[in-house]
Amino acid sequence: MFTRIVKMTFRKEETPTFLANFDKVKEKICNFDGCCFLELYRDKNDDTIFFTYSRWRDVEALENYRKSDLFRDVWSKTKPLFREGAEAWSVDTLVSIP
């Protein structure tokens, strides 16, 4: 299992559009085969910056999602709202303290 972190920076006037669309698709993403966890965060200092944290069973599961109609639909509605290009990282958990 690994975590995918995506940083997205939106134009200020587009943040409500992003949030409304995310609300519509969050369950579909979380229920996609191989997705084990999904959270959305908003930066404390800049309310146009958001991060998604998702945990995936394996790289193949994430790649299947990225090749899916669901991802293409989500991304086609999200990408045009950006102020800056998205950044993404795939990371392994080394230490987790509850």
Which CATH number applies to 2-91? Answer: 3.30.70.100
Which pLDDT score is estimated for 98?
A: 86
**Model-level pTM?**
0.94
Q: Phi and psi of 80, rounded to 5°?
A: -65, -15
Q: How far is CA 23 from the centre of its chain?
A: 12
Q: Which of 8, 28, 7 is nearest to 18 (CA)?
A: 8
pLDDT in tens, the chain (98 residues): 999 999 999 999 999 999 999 999 999 999 999 999 999 999 999 999 999 999 999 999 999 999 999 999 999 999 999 999 999 999 999 999 98
d(CA 75, CA 40) in angstroms, rounded, equals 15
